[in-house]
Every structure is written in C-alpha cells, then in structure tokens.
Amino acid sequence: MTQLEQQIAPVETAPAQGNKILRVLREETNNVHPRLLFAQMICALLPVHTGYRVRAAALRMVGFQIGRGTMFYDLPAISGSDELHNHLVIGKACRFNLRTSLELGARITIGDNVGVGAETMFLTTSHEFGPAERRCGPQRKGPITIGNGVWIGVRSTILPGVTIGDGAVVAAGSLVNRDVAANTLVAGVPAKQLKELA
C-alpha cells in the first residue's frame, strides 16, 4: 500500500464506522419508549400498595387502552418493541398485584374483572428450536387473550398464543402453554385441567 493509499484508507472507512455506530445505537435503544418512560417517572413517586388507580391513569394518559376501575399495586414491567401502547388492551375493574411482567412482542388482550397474582408473567415471544450449535432458534410471537372474570394465581406464566376462557382459574405457579377452557381450574407445569367450575 502506497503512502497516499494509507492516508486515504481511514477517510474511506470513517463513514462505514459511523454507519456501524448508528446501527448499534439503534439496536441498543430500540426498546426505549418515551411514552412509557413518562408514565414510569410519574409512578416512581408512589410507594407500592398506594395510588392503584393513578398508575392505571398514567398508562392510560400515554396511550394504553385500560378500562376504568383497573388497579395496579405497582407499575408492571412492560417491554417489547414497536409502539407498545398498541399491543395492550386491558378491560375494566381488573387488579394486578406486584411485579407483573407484560412482554408485548404481540398483542395482549385482558377482559374485564380479571385478577392477576404477584409476579405473573405474560410472554408473547419465544423461539423455535435451532440446530445443535444454537438451540435458541428463530423468534416466534403469539398473542395472549384473557377472558372476563379470570383469576391468575401468583407466579404464573402465560406463554405465547394462549387464550384463557371466561371465568377460568389458573392456580399459583402454573405454566400455561395451551388454551384454557372457560370456567375451568388448571394447575401445574405445564398447566392441566383439574376440574370444571360452576
């Protein structure tokens, strides 16, 4: 390489490096949502078990569809890409206990009068099995639908693509990986139907 080529080479690669930096910055900040940050700042001043309706109002104010009378004992952990507020619909008079996680890779729809126990996770994104060198394969997404009057026990996990019918009960610690019929009690890992409810 001549002396002139050595002087020109860094100039030619500078735009490529700049593009790489911009791409990495976009990737690293993809899940920063200004609307959600604003609601989090408002709610950060509230101790847990106070201001239940204020948290719902703050989320409503930044665009989330949340029915009247719904309460959050603390602000749920909300994550995902795109416009999060378009991926969550919660009905009226629902109650969410502490440390609920709502992963909004796909839409989560929750009906009216739903009770959600502490540390429950709603996960709309998972992965297919990959080859041996990388088992965590291509991403897949599926919406979650929770019917009216459902009670989800503490530390339950609801996986992508699941629909839980009206009036169903999910026992504490259950892993729900398939649809749950209306007015049934399910429990276990994975959750299985234990009985029909009146």
Q: Token pair of 41, please?
A: 């700042």
Q: Give the span between the Cα atoms of 179 and 172, in whole angstroms.
A: 17
Q: Give the span between the Cα atoms of 137 and 131, in whole angstroms.
A: 7
**For the chain, what is the mean pLDDT?**
89
Q: Give the span between the Cα atoms of 22 and 129, in whole angstroms.
A: 31
Low-confidence ranges of the chain (pLDDT < 50): 12
For 79, residues 6+ apart whose C-beta sits below 8 A from its C-beta are 31, 101, 102, 103, 104
Q: Give the span between the Cα atoms of 130 and 52, in whole angstroms.
A: 43
- The predicted-structure confidence for 128-146, as pLDDT tens digits, reads as follows 888 899 899 888 999 999 9
pLDDT at residue 41, rounded to an integer: 84
Three-state SS at 25: helix
> Catalytic site residue 87?
no
Instruction: Domain ranges for the chain, please list them.
Output: 34-196
Would you tell me which CATH number, out of the four given (2.60.110.10, 2.160.10.10, 3.40.50.2300, 1.10.10.350), belongs to the domain 34-196? Answer: 2.160.10.10
**pTM (two decimals):** 0.82
Q: Give the span between the Cα atoms of 101 and 112, in whole angstroms.
A: 19
pLDDT at residue 7, rounded to an integer: 55
Q: Of 49, 85, 87, 127, which residue is the catalytic one? A: 127
Looking up tokens 């004992």, which residue turns up?
A: 73
pLDDT at residue 24, rounded to an integer: 74
pLDDT at residue 56, rounded to an integer: 93
Three-state SS at 194: strand
- The predicted-structure confidence for 17-32, as pLDDT tens digits, reads as follows 777 787 777 767 666 6
